[in-house]
């Protein structure tokens, strides 16, 4: 196994200490989730998030920390095999991860979040650490980074049809990065239910009522028995996944390079 100089878990503490001398590298913290992705895809979506983070760190000459594979995924608790952290647990673990670097005067830290439901808790933690340490820790919400124009470039007329939990971006990206783990023959299409006599939005926890959206604390089993939120995974392809992976890797790497030139203590100049 070849040692990766951009992967923290591959380095000895002496090697890492040498990297900290002089111009300290940016540290990238990948986050993910162990949750269902429909019957056709593996539950460990953190695997592909980590691969993108590692590739971006290598390009940017940054260092990628080990991935946190468990996230705040309360909604998916009803399906066996998921591992959900309580909000308090996730927040404390993330805070401990960040302060482990702040304790050694490493100020350039970036979060690469591969699970969207983590985002509000990440914001709470980073605001808290800003108050306590005066350091800004940016967070990139990985699967929400691509603008509509990129989706259209990759999927053309099918861009809106393929998006959703149980479809893209994760299905195409996984078909590219972990093809042997995919079971496309098991995909049967989304089976949406209703709740309180009302249709449920594509984001799982919202009900449509008189043109507005009402948030309700539902479990995935009360929304979609197959775990698919929306999107047509038959439109997902490994080629689309390769294009998405390249775009996301380049975007994250470009931000790491840019952030390296900034002062996390003085964001306005």
pLDDT reported for residue 225: 81
pLDDT reported for residue 189: 72
Note the helical H segments in 61-187.
87-102, 119-133, 148-155, 170-177
Contact predicate 246/240, CB 8 Å: no
User: In order along the chain (269 residues), what is the average pLDDT of each group of 10 residues?
Assistant: 93 96 95 94 94 98 98 92 96 98 96 96 98 98 96 95 93 96 85 88 83 91 85 94 98 98 93
Contact predicate 234/168, CB 8 Å: no
Q: How far apart are CA 139 and CA 101, in angstroms?
A: 16
Contact predicate 109/137, CB 8 Å: yes
pLDDT reported for residue 115: 95
């Amino acid at each position: 196994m070849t040692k990766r100089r951009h992967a923290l878990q591959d380095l000895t503490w002496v090697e890492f200490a040498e990297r900290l001398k002089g111009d300290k590298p940016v540290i990238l913290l990948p986050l993910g989730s162990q949750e269902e992705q429909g019957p056709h895809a593996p539950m460990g979506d953190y695997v592909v998030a980590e691969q993108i983070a590692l590739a971006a760190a290598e390009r940017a000459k940054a260092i990628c920390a080990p991935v946190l594979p468990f996230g705040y995924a309360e909604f998916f608790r009803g399906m066996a095999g998921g591992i959900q952290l309580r909000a308090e647990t996730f927040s404390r673990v993330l805070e401990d991860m960040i302060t482990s670097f702040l304790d050694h005067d490493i100020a350039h830290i970036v979060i690469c979040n591969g699970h969207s439901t983590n985002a509000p808790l990440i914001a709470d933690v980073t605001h808290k650490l800003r108050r306590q340490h005066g350091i800004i820790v940016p967070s990139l919400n990985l699967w929400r980074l691509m603008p509509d124009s990129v989706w259209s470039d990759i999927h053309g007329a099918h861009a809106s049809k393929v998006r959703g939990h149980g479809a893209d971006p994760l299905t195409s990206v996984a078909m590219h990065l972990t093809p042997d783990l995919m079971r496309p023959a098991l995909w049967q299409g989304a089976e949406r239910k209703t709740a309180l006599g009302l249709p449920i939005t594509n984001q799982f926890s919202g009900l449509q009522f008189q043109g507005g959206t009402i948030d309700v604390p539902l479990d995935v089993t009360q929304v979609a028995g197959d775990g698919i939120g929306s999107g047509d995974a038959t439109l997902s392809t490994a080629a689309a996944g390769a294009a998405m992976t390249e775009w996301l890797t380049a975007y994250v790497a470009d931000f790491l390079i840019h952030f390296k030139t900034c002062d996390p203590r003085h964001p306005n100049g």
